[in-house]
Amino acid sequence: MGTIAADPSLSLQIGRGSNQHGAVVEEINGLIKVYKDEYVERPPMVPHISTALPPEFGVISKDVSIDKFTNIWARFYVPKCSNSGRLPLVVYFHGGGFCVGSAAWSCYHEFLARLAAHASCIIMSINYRLAPENPLPAAYEDGLKALLWLKQGALNGSGEEWWQGMCNLSSVFLAGDSAGANIAHNVAARSITNSLKPLILKGTILIQPFFGGEARTDSEKVQSPQSALSLAASDTYWRLALPGGTNRDHPWCNPLAKGWTKLGEMRLPPTLVCVSEMDILKDRNLEFCAALAKAGKRVEHVVCKGVGHAFQVLGKSPLSQSRTLELMAHIKAFIS
């Protein structure tokens, strides 16, 4: 999911304010306003930055276009030196409740550069279309299009040799946080119907995956000051992202909803789920892990103690920074 919000007290505000576009009908403070005429405003809460990185990161970053018509693009992170041959490729989807966020957000730029160096992998961070202008499944379609773009580049030998020469396309992982983790899971489920060879999908890495449901879990009823995602904001994101006429038990929101395709029928790769102890999504994340295991899927999970939603990109405290290093170590072990 989620949210990338600087203010952990994120609140839903409906019907407040008006301008030439009419009244505000949906709002998450500081992140998004939707007006009566469907005009969408996204205040620049988080800076968008260039690909430049300090030399001490030891990582090269460049942007590439995937689809100019829909403006899908990716930011690559490539470690400068490697003594281990070709590196695994992590295809990453940013969070933001499907409605906000960018691969150029400063918080993601630093986190993913550090992760690429720490885990010795190449990261391809996808800038996908956002809701409500492009409701689901647009983000899933963009994720699959990115994989097919990779496949085509590998088959015809064209593309950006500056990263392809170091990339092991037989070791591809789909990853993301919050809404991005939801995207990674759904793209993995969809990709089995498409031949991706020579790409080989080895696993998914889901950081605080943004799932929901009509019934409330215990962790959803408690708002921790350490968490950047509130229940009100979560509900708003889902109203804006899901297709019209659906609710939070739609399978894109609630993969465990009764009556939907069982996880056991999906050909999913091994999965790592990273859960935050103080996150309202904790219970849903743990239930998802249990359901995967019961369905016979390979799944492992780690609970990051004392931190909330999006701590790895928003947290500035010593505890958040320590937990971020632990998270990177788990991801590195899973990739290896």
Active site residues: 178
Residue 55 CB coordination number (10 Å): 7
Strands 122-127 and 87-93: parallel
CA distance 313 to 3: 11
CA distance 69 to 80: 32
CA distance 301 to 123: 21
161 burial type by CB count under 10 A (0-12 exposed, 13-18 middle, 19+ buried)? exposed
Residue located via tokens 């990674």:
184
DSSP of 91-158, one letter per residue? EEE--STTTS--TTBHHHHHHHHHHHHHHT-EEEEEE---TTTS-TTHHHHHHHHHHHHHHHHHHHS-
Residue 77 backbone dihedrals phi, psi, to 5 degrees: -125, 115
| Cβ(113)–Cβ(50) below 8 Å | no
Tell me if residue 227 falls in helix, strand or coil. coil
| Cβ(272)–Cβ(284) below 8 Å | no
The letter for the amino acid at 123 is: I
CA distance 262 to 260: 6
Residue 73's region, left for phi above 0, alpha for psi from -120 to 50, else beta, is beta
Whether the upstream peptide bond of residue 132 has omega within 30° of 0, thus cis, is yes
